[in-house]
Chains A and B, each alone.
Chain A
Amino acid sequence: MRPPQVWLVAMQEFRIRLRTGRWRWLLGAWVVVVGGFTVLLDLALSGGYPGSSVEAPGVPLFGILMLFVLGLVLVVSPALTSQSINGDRERGTLATLQVTRLRPMEIALGKLLAGWGVGLVALALTLPFTGYALSRGGITVVRVAAVYAVVAILIGVVCAVSQALSALLARSITSALLSYVAVAALTVGTLILFWLVAPLFTEERVGPGGEYRYGVVRYDKVWWLLAPNPFTVVADSAPHVPPRITTDGDFIRVDENDPLSAIGRWVREIRTPPRTEPVSYDARFTDPDPPVWPYGLAFNVLLGAGAVAVTASRLRTPSRRVARGVRIA
């Protein structure tokens, strides 16, 4: 694999995309949706009264905004690459690439970069609104950078999986549909599976003094089912919001009503075996539960890498196998 050739394919693909779609309108609509959401959310969080005093309004503003943006990019990303291979086959332009001296991996990565790049442009357009959230106080630039980096990687993963489906399936309609099924499996599917499987790991406990028995669901045995979920990965990988420390030395939480922080706390709690003693918030902050996101992120990155490998192997010629109904040229 030679980087200049990857770049060549990426730029070519990017140029073609730029000239086919109504990008100005699509990106304009994107900015309007994200901007409108930010403004309404800011008003809602301050109780409908602009300027009313809420402790660090930037924290929930950023958290909810990023969950919304993640949801949107998960909807948009499959569309970026789910026809990039079989669409070219249908137009007869893939084989002319394959007979050049470009390697299959160069074609696969170049096309992926072009689709991913469009996704990253959309993500970059949400930065001004994040900047606004940052100005509202409570969050750090590090938290913003971490969340953006993970969302950027996840866009790439979804693009890679969609592209692999477009390399495997003959019809672009089928691959587009299955790309959305794959995203649904990662987001809703992992959650449903978690709730269905967890009760199978119920343990019987005996109450104090042996007076009664009760069941404890051992969520810590199935926590890994939630790890691949993109929302889990983004929420848990975000650096914790530091509490405000009063002059008396008390911790005051500022992430109470931030769903992004809440998801992160929740999955870590699930991973930890059930406690017998309740734990104070302070202790949890100074001695946090082990994280879930490294597993989730690793899973997703491997999924993306595997998808690229599948795409490249389906682009290798001379090919032995030809999918039903596929015209090579």
Chain B
Amino acid sequence: MSVDESAAGVVVRDVWRHFGSVPALSGMSLSAPYGQVTALVGPNGAGKTTLLLVLASLLRPDRGEVRVAGLDPVLDPYGVRARMGWMPDTFGLYEQLTVAEYLRFFADAYGIDRTSARSRTAELLDLVHLSEYGPQPVHVLSRGQKQRLALTRALIHRPSVLLLDEPASGLDPRSRVELRDILRGLAAGGAAVLVSSHILTELEEIADRLVLVSRGRTVSEHTMAELTRSAASRYRVRATYPSALAAALGPLGVTEASANGTGTELGPLTEDQAADLLAGLVGAGVRVVAFEPLGSNLESVYLEMTEERR
């Protein structure tokens, strides 16, 4: 799925980079549009971190075309840095500083004047729910809080492009939901957000678009909506009278179904097939009380797609 590149915060076209004799990027291409969250997903060693380093103006690609906020990070690194925020998977925090000192230093490093830095810091700490931690030293923060502080650092200069390396890894479900809300809010504000992960389900509710990468190459680009529609997964159906349900399934074309104490499992079905089946069951007078997908269908898509490349 390609994107109008003039509206993209990140454009990568046929980018190569190797370390010694080890290839890290072998012709990767992708784009991340403004106003959307793009997920960069692939197994460990797929080149995600290397690509983000190239985009963050830290690493020079061997060849290929890179544009971040419309600028080439090799030719104009300072232009890119003024418009881009980057959060490494290691966070890169100074444990000895207080939260407020840490942010003040980076505001200064980005050349933000003191008055706007103060209001910006307060605004961001409020956004990531760390307002009361200003005078606390960084080392007392939990992993989730440290990650949000690192995110605050990446946002301090109001970047229009945000690059996050494995932001969701190691977070508890609550922190993950908060991360989702923050990133969705930034995208709604017009930023291009590119988020990497090796676990697709981490980003299921965060991302609008998905770029699957493997072995330094792009495998495919999708919108999330398109994926969930086409992805097939198993469903569990429960009705007030299991016998009525079993009787109705056959005529509706479902040949394989297994009933157990929690309901009847069937499929795999795509979303369209599932919707048709539900309508059919209701139309046949079956009193359906539950009709739910089993597990994530994205996970199966991901496994399927990376399997092809083995």
Asked if A93 and B59 make an inter-chain contact with CB atoms under 8 angstroms apart, the answer reads no
- Distance A99 CA – B92 CA, assembled complex (angstroms): 12
Residues 111-131 of chain A: 1 if any B CB is under 8 Å from the residue's CB, otherwise 0? 000000000000000000000
Residues of chain A contacted by B108 (CB below 8 angstroms): 8
Binary per-residue interface labels of chain B (51-80) against chain A in the complex, 1 for a CB within 8 Å, 0 otherwise: 001101111100000000000011001100
Q: Within the complex, which residue of A5, A93, A102 is in contact with B94, where a contact is CB–CB below 8 Å? A: A93
Task: Assess the B111–A99 pair: CB atoms within 8 A.
Answer: no
A4 CB, min distance to chain B CBs, angstroms: 9
Q: Which residues of B contact A92 (CB under 8 A)?
A: 88, 90-92
- Nearest Cβ in chain B — how far from A114, in angstroms? 13
Given contacts A20-B96, A93-B94, A97-B109, contact A318 B88 (CB under 8 A): no
Count the B residues whose beta carbon is within 8 Å of the partner chain — how many? 36
Contact A16 B77 (CB under 8 A): no
Q: Do residues A8 and B105 form an inter-chain contact, with CB atoms below 8 A?
A: yes
B109 touches A329 (CB 8 A): no
A93-B94, A101-B81 known; A8-B109 Cβ under 8 A: yes
CB closest chain-B residue, reference A19: B96
> In which size bucket is the chain A interface?
20 to 34
Contacts of A19 in B (CB 8 A): 96-97
User: Which chain A residues lie closer than 8 Å to B165 at the CB level?
Assistant: 329
Tell me whether B110 and A101 are in contact (CB under 8 A): yes
Write out, one digit per residue, whether chain A residues 83-120 have a CB within 8 A of any chain B CB (1) or not (0).
00000000111111111111000000000000000000
Chain B residues within CB distance 8 Å of chain A = 19-20, 49, 53-54, 56-60, 73-74, 77-78, 81-82, 84, 86, 88-94, 96-97, 101, 105-106, 108-111, 153, 165
Q: Add 15 more A-B contacts to A100-B110, A101-B111, A328-B53 (CB < 8 A).
A: A16-B94, A16-B97, A92-B92, A95-B92, A99-B84, A100-B109, A101-B78, A102-B109, A317-B59, A317-B77, A319-B58, A322-B19, A328-B59, A329-B56, A329-B58
- On A, residues with C-beta under 8 Å from B are 5, 8, 12, 15-16, 19-20, 91-102, 317-320, 322, 324, 328-329
Q: Would you list 10 pairs from A and B whose C-beta atoms are within 8 A, ordered by A residue?
A: A8-B109, A20-B96, A94-B92, A95-B56, A96-B88, A318-B59, A318-B60, A320-B60, A324-B20, A329-B49
